[in-house]
Structure 1
Amino acid sequence: MKSVQDFSPNAFRAAYEARGWTQADVAKAIGVTVGTVGRWVRGKGAPSPRLFSVLSKELGVPRSRMLVPLAPSADLAVLRTRAGLRQEDVAERLSVQASDISEMELGTGRVRDEWGATLSCLYDVSVDQLANAAEVTEERWRAELEAKRH
């Protein structure tokens, strides 16, 4: 399972310290080890989308507060993980198969027009940011395909 790629260790630390929590408090609240929380604080890892959602809820802060600003190079998978969602979660909301979401994120499938508004809401991004991420995803796929040809 992918980790949340744009996780900000400094913002995470600020969020739990603002509550007066320690790393041990965070670990107990979300069901991980203190060592895991310590790795996140040191930037040696990041929570999974599921744990990121739990973390946001337990700390009472929006996910966006624990993320670095969205990069123009963010692809569709980054948007999903920033939102704390698994492919299965997105598939369920769109009433499609998880494989449809996987293909969309690999660039072998596309963002269907009827998905745009829902994905924009789920990922908490504008429609333009969603479209940009879809372009980044497709460009990455094309570059990988071209590299295989050579």
Structure 2
Amino acid sequence: MSRSTVRGFSGARLRRLREARGLTGDDLADAAGISEATLRSWEIGRATPTPALLGAVAKKLRVTIGDMLVLRSDELTLADLRTLAGLNQADVAEKLGVGTTTLTRIEKGRRDYDPDVARELARIYKVKAGELRAVWERTRQIRLDMLDKI
């Protein structure tokens, strides 16, 4: 399983959402199946969760993963869409029928837009095809811009 963390995660937002629902750290941790120490380390910024674990916490708080992120929609990358869906790379790679290395190359903008793969990713991430294409192209452009600076 991928050990990737969540870009843009805000522990402060998580804490505010937990407190707004009147839950202690112990309550939420127990409900989400994680340790209180893990939850505390996320809230104070010492660690960041994986998409799957953050998804479990979001579900118990009855919020979306996006509610705990500090990212604008025009900044989203393909990896961010995966995170917002609460999925790890291994989950998505299996659903796509590709290896995690191939998915990593796509998420890092190392692959040109592929309509068939994009259509399937849009279905997996539960986003519109046009949104997926825009994010794919943004991800690819970020990579190309980075290469131009080298």
Answer yes or no: same fold by TM over 0.5.
yes
2-structure distance, mates of 1:69, 1:109: 23
The answer for the alignment partner of 1:40 in structure 2 is: 42
1-structure distance, mates of 2:56, 2:41: 17
Contact 1:72 1:132 (8 Å CA) reproduced: no
The answer for the alignment partner of 1:85 in structure 2 is: 87
Q: Do structure 1's residue 63 and structure 2's residue 65 form an aligned pair?
A: yes
The answer for the alignment partner of 1:113 in structure 2 is: 115
Q: Do structure 1's residue 12 and structure 2's residue 14 form an aligned pair?
A: yes
Letter of the aligned partner of 1:55 in structure 2? V
2-structure distance, mates of 1:147, 1:136: 17
Partner of 1:4: helix, strand, or coil?
Answer: coil
Superposition deviation, residue 105 in structure 1? 1.0
1-structure distance, mates of 2:104, 2:72: 21
Contact 2:113 2:137 (8 Å CA) reproduced: no
The answer for the alignment partner of 1:132 in structure 2 is: 134
Identity of aligned residues (%): 33
The list of structure 1 runs, each at least 4 consecutive aligned residues, that deviate by more than 6 angstroms after superposition, is: none
Letter of the aligned partner of 2:136 in structure 1? A
2-structure distance, mates of 1:144, 1:66: 28
Q: TM-score under structure 2 normalisation? A: 0.78
Q: Cα deviations across residues 14-66 of structure 1 (Å, max 9, x unaligned)?
A: 44335432111222233433233223223444311121122233334333333
Instruction: Tell which deviates more after alignment, 86-95 or 43-52.
Output: 43-52
Equivalent pairs counted in the alignment come to: 148
Instruction: Tell which deviates more after alignment, 5-14 or 98-107.
Output: 5-14
Letter of the aligned partner of 2:66 in structure 1? S
Q: What residue ranges of structure 2 are gaps of 5+ in the alignment? A: none
Contact 1:52 1:63 (8 Å CA) reproduced: yes
Q: TM-score under structure 1 normalisation? A: 0.78
Q: What residue ranges of structure 1 are gaps of 5+ in the alignment? A: none
The CA RMSD over aligned residues, in Å, is 2.5
